[in-house]
Structure 1
């Protein structure tokens, strides 16, 4: 009686079959992992033309950033953690200040990263610079 993963070494085609089965299984698992990871990521990139619609409902954390900014790069994974923890209660929106100067100017962004908390379209809180996850969760919790 043969077990499902046993191979007696005599059949090259049987070995190729099991290799192909494993590759197919592994590919499916990696695709599922990718889909699940992206389902959790609800961070939205807004532009000057979409910004108002993105912040009009509920509690929204807006990150004004730029790709060349070191602290902005440091806070990106923190925002992903906040999204995983509070994603069902808080929307996170990122605005690239280089590509969207109109919105950054409207809100007086002078340093980055600058994070605003919006509630139903109105600014209710603001912080500047890198913030740890606990600080951001505390900031957002005040407005939930």
Structure 2
């Protein structure tokens, strides 16, 4: 199964963790690191309306990031995240808040799951926890996909 990542908050840590596993190159297609709104729009097709309406730290943006990564890839699975590693919150959103997307190509369609979590600690702690969370939840959402669940 080929994987693509679209990372903001984790700054490439998801794909970095995977790359440390010998032979993982056969399962990795690409990794996007997109911090700015403009990069999310330009590289992944996130809509300006979505950012303006829901905020950069939102499941809606994470979902569009996963969709954009899958559209630009032959991968079957996409992981995306956007959030605030800290040290401060922004727009009333507390530091450590991370929104995730998991996208799957399945029977000719794209199926996207999303969640929001909050992690505690310094920036590096939040980034690592979010990266691990992204990876460890692939089996959960894949199983839900196979059971016919959506979103």
Instruction: Specify the TM-score bucket, using the shorter chain as the normaliser.
Output: 0.3 to 0.5
Q: So what's the TM-score if we normalise by structure 2?
A: 0.32
Q: Which has the higher contact order (CA 8 A, sep 6+)?
A: 1
Larger radius of gyration: 1
Q: Which structure shows the bigger proportion of residues in strand conformation?
A: 2
TM-score, length-scaled by structure 1: 0.33
Report the structure, 1 or 2, having the larger helix content.
1
